[in-house]
Amino acid sequence: MSEAKSSTGSVKDLDIQIGTIKGEQWDEKEGPTPFPDHTALRNWDRMLLTRYKPLYIPFCDLCCLCTYGKCDLSGGKRGACGIGMEAQQSRIVLLAACIGAATHISHGRHLVHHLIHIKGRRTPLDVGGLNVDVEAPMIRLVCGIKPQTLGDLEIVLDYLESQVTELLAAAHTGQESDPLDFESKVFHAGMLDHVGLELADIAQISAFNLPKADPDAALIDLGLGTIDPEKPVILVIGHNVPPAIDIINYSRNHGLAGTIEVTGICCTAIDLTRYDPSAKIVGPISWQLRYIRSGIPDLIVVDEQCVRADLLIEAGNIQSPLIATSSKNCAGLADRTDDDPDAIVADLISGTVPGVLILDSQKVGEVAVRAAIQSHAIRKKKKQGVIPTSEELIELAKRCGGCMECTRACPNETPLPDAMKQAAGGDLSHLAAIYERCIGCGRCDDVCNKGIPIHSSLVAAAQERVCEEKYTVRAGRGAIQDIEIREVGGPIVLGEIPGVVAFVGCANFPNGASEVAEMAREFAKRRYISVASGCSAMAIGMYRNEDGQTPYEEFHGRFDAGGIVNVGSCVSNAHIAGAAIKIASIFAKRPLRGNYEEIADYVYNRVGAVGVAWGAMSQKAAAIAAGFWRLGIPVIVGPHGAKYRRMLLGRKDHEDDWYVYDSRSGEKVLVGPVPEHLFVTAETKEEAMVLIAKLCMRPNDTSRGRSMKLTHYIDLYQRLYGILPDDIHLFIRSQADIPITMKEELLPLLAEKGLKERPIPDPTLLKSQIRTRKGGV
């Protein structure tokens, strides 16, 4: 209250809070696992892990985590603490998942704290108005509460932080020892991560009025070619958007909107364009070096996550001041948060300091805009980029001795020495072709013993291509509307919409961004629902069809068959998992509140969804994937994903692994390997597409739905391999499952395999669900 008066006195600015009321205005009965600890869902995890056993791919045979080491774990040996290789690999996976989850949860804590400070604890949560009634499905499912205000999110954060601490403690020397228990804790970290993701996005959607479940969100300019270097250019990089938003706010409030280019890389760019569609996205994480070295940015602002550790050096090379804005990425800079903006701007422009740390986002907005305008006036007088001209590139290429060190350092093993040889003779096309596959790591620069700036050389060779990088991406829409779930729930569960394919994760692509766009388009054309987030959402936009359309122009943005849906940034991944959960809640009427195991069982057996993290590279991506695994949603990674050290693979030749209960009769029924894997790597785009079609099959598919899914699987397999799959018989339960156009071809093959017709059960892995389900939804 502001002020209260009585005959005995008055009280001003009194804030009264009475605990936390769980389930207020929510009549749904609380389930068995609200706020679960890391053992509450252990039985569910082990059910999945018994079916999808870890396949370990050690990076290293040694354990170096304590001073007993180094301990050699190869050949069945154990470390000084008694740990074996399998447990050690699972422990490393757990550490990665905890780092990823902690990063997103910390992001959420910062956002909520900041937004409560500027908006107030009672700010209502609104992610879709009347179109979204189940506004926080992950929080409802895991925590068993229905958050209504920003302040309600703090109890969720307290829970998440305490659980991540518990998981990290389990990774200490002399704690957990069993590989599957480590893996269960990995699943728990992933679930926590998804709650943190949802919390962060619903907070910023509500407070900043970002698109609210809008399938027709604005189309955003994407690519280096969309930027006007004649204007002062600010580059924002990272994932935590408040400083970037305050840059926009300052420019608006001072009549500067439209006179400054505010550009972004990574998820800050996606979230900024959700706030202001006139801002521009440069590209994913791998565009940092090429954009900065172009000399276009007049000032660089970094916040947190996926920010290169050498950006202060790179910014200095082009005389561009840098502002760090996060306590998690101080970059060794002096903290100028409490200093006068005039003094900060003067020091940045004079070059007295290369950069500053400012932890007040509003002050960042003022300093960034003022400094960028002055920096632009100085820098435009001379070329500031470090990209060589064509003539300089040819001379640089002549230095190359063909030692192959650059190719060995390149994650994609590109043929750089051969391309340099061609460039030395004046043919730059081979280097330009490598630009398409470059992930921007810069490792080639570091190993070149001739001092050739190889990465910059690639950009120089592809200069024409770089200037033509003019694309569009639909602004992140946020949540999926409840009415969309009602309309697609039945077709998805029955298999008549073949599946939901989620393109998520980072930009460590094996052959460039175009492969992600090609996969998304392929499945949208086949009337799957393609969903995207983060760097993958950008990658999809960096493609044009024969009519000059980007995928976001070519396909609709509804959560429906044939759509390509951009939910938003990394934290928006929660809306993808949330859509699967809402199918169980809204369509199937399953109780959601604190009822994780039953909902995960429903999703696993009935919702044909698969994640594709084609360029996954970070610990955050590992945590996001683990959150999908616990829900029973498979994830495919590109060839670099093998570096996560283990896969979760099913054995289709082990028939005993593929039984479920029929909840109507209580009998065990063989359903076949659907889905066959929970975490698997694919070497090529074509192999990934075959796996996508296969992993969308579910035990609950009707014959019509299974027939449709088999049509796509067989067609894609024949396109890749030129033959029929050798495992078709495992997915056909009766002749009604056979695609009608293929019956003549498949019946002899099935007869040879001795096909025995099997019933379609009302499937569950849980004994507790026997005879409790009505119907087959």
Q: Give the model confidence (pLDDT) of 629-679 as tens digits.
A: 999 999 999 999 999 999 999 999 999 999 999 999 999 999 999 999 999
For residue 311, give the nearest of 322, 325, 319 by alpha carbon. 322
Res 776 pLDDT > 80: no
- DSSP, res 736: G
pLDDT tens for each residue of 400-419: 999 999 999 999 999 999 99
**Range list of H helices, 478-529:** 482-494, 514-525
81-95, 107-121, 371-385, range with the lowest pLDDT = 371-385
Would you state the structure tokens that stand for residue 479, as one six-digit string? 């949540």
Do the Cβ atoms of 115 and 246 come closer than 8 Å? no
Nearest to 550 by CA among 523, 518, 504: 518
Please name the residue ranges forming H helices in 398-513.
405-409, 416-424, 429-435, 443-447, 454-461, 463-467, 482-494
* Low-confidence winner among 26-35, 308-317, 333-342, 405-414 (lowest mean pLDDT): 26-35
Residue 10's pLDDT is what?
59
- Per residue in 476-519, pLDDT (tens digit) is 999 999 999 999 999 999 989 999 999 999 999 999 999 999 99
- The first and second tokens of residue 351, run together, are 């070059």
With beta carbons less than 8 A apart as the criterion, state whether 501 and 523 touch: yes
Question: In sequence order, what DSSP letters do the residues of 53-85 get, joined into one string?
Answer: EEEE--S-SEE-SSTT--EE-GGG---TTS--H
The reported pLDDT for the residue numbered 1 is 45
Query: What are 544-578's pLDDT values in tens digits?
Result: 999 999 999 999 999 999 999 999 999 999 999 99
* pLDDT bracket for residue 468 (50, 70, 90): confident
Helix H or strand E encompassing 155: helix 153-170
Q: What is the per-residue DSSP string for 464-479? A: HHHHT--EEEEPP--S
> What DSSP assignment string belongs to 574-625?
HHHHHHHHHIIIIIS----TT-HHHHHHHHHHH--EEEEETT--SHHHHHHH
Report the half-sphere exposure of 638 (CA within 13 A, side-chain side). Answer: 26
Average pLDDT, integer, range 435-452: 95
Does position 292 have pLDDT exceeding 80, yes or no? yes
CB atoms within 10 A of CB 389: 11
Specify the pLDDT at position 770. Answer: 87
Residue 48 reports pLDDT greater than 70: yes
Of 503, 405, 434, 406, give the one whose Cα is nearest residue 290.
Answer: 434
Q: What is the DSSP string of 363-390?
A: HHHHHHHHHHHHHHHHHTTS----PPPH
pLDDT of residue 97: 98
Closest CA relative to residue 488, chosen from 583, 608, 393, 618? 583
Mean pLDDT for the chain?
94
Contacts of 443 (CB under 8 A, 6+ apart): 409, 410, 411
Crossing angle of helices 685-695 and 514-525, rounded to 10°:
40
Residue 755 pLDDT more than 80? yes
Cis check: omega of the bond before 70, within 30 degrees of 0:
yes
**Percent of the chain scoring above 70 in pLDDT:** 96
Query: Please, which pLDDT band fits residue 184 given cuts at 50, 70 and 90?
Result: very high
